[in-house]
């Protein structure tokens, strides 16, 4: 870590450079980095969740099920067509929703405030 008002070489070689000379901001930067890692893990979970659930459905994982019951029920035609493959428009909407979810979750970091403990 380097303090922004220090030597330029220290700021260049440091992983974290504090812009203010306040040493108390070290705790804030550590808390922010932990929250960032937590958010990255959440984003990975949700992205994998969407893909694990919807990619096989889009590829036709429900096709054998629909063939066994005699075809796609009429009420599900919009979602699965007549063969049991996911409607490409719905697949695109699901992937866009996945991206929006990840971006929205990441934007929560903008409101990060260090929680102080009163003793």
What is the C-alpha to C-alpha distance for residues 59 and 91, in angstroms, rounded to an integer?
Answer: 10
**Mean pLDDT for the stretch of residues 14-35:** 81
Q: How would you label 72-86 residue by residue, b for 16+ Cβ within 10 Å and e otherwise?
A: beeeeeeebeeebbb
Token pair in block for residue 15? 């992983």
SS3 83: coil
pTM over the 0.95 mark: no
The answer to whether residue 6 scores a pLDDT higher than 70 is: no
State how far the alpha carbon of 19 is from the alpha carbons of 27, 42, 44, in Å. 14, 29, 30
Domain regions of the chain by residue span: 2-111
Q: What is the pLDDT of residues 43-77, one digit of tens each?
A: 999 888 888 888 888 888 888 888 888 888 888 88
17 or 34, higher pLDDT: 34
Helix locations, 60-87, DSSP H: 63-68, 77-80
What mean pLDDT do residues 14-28 have?
78
**Taking CA 111 as the corner, what is the angle to CA 14 and CA 31, rounded to the nearest 5 degrees?**
40
Is the pLDDT reported for residue 20 higher than 80? no
């Amino acid at each position: 870590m380097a303090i922004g008002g220090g030597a330029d070489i220290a700021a260049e070689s440091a992983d974290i450079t504090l812009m203010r000379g306040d040493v108390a901001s070290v705790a804030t930067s550590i808390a922010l980095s932990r929250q960032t890692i937590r958010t990255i893990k959440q984003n990975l979970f949700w992205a994998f969740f969407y893909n694990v659930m919807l990619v096989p459905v889009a590829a036709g994982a429900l096709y054998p099920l629909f063939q066994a019951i005699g075809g796609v029920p009429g009420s599900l035609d919009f979602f699965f067509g007549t063969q049991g493959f996911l409607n490409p428009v719905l697949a695109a909407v699901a992937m866009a929703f996945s991206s929006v979810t990840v971006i929205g979750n990441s934007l929560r970091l903008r409101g990060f405030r260090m929680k102080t403990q009163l003793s």
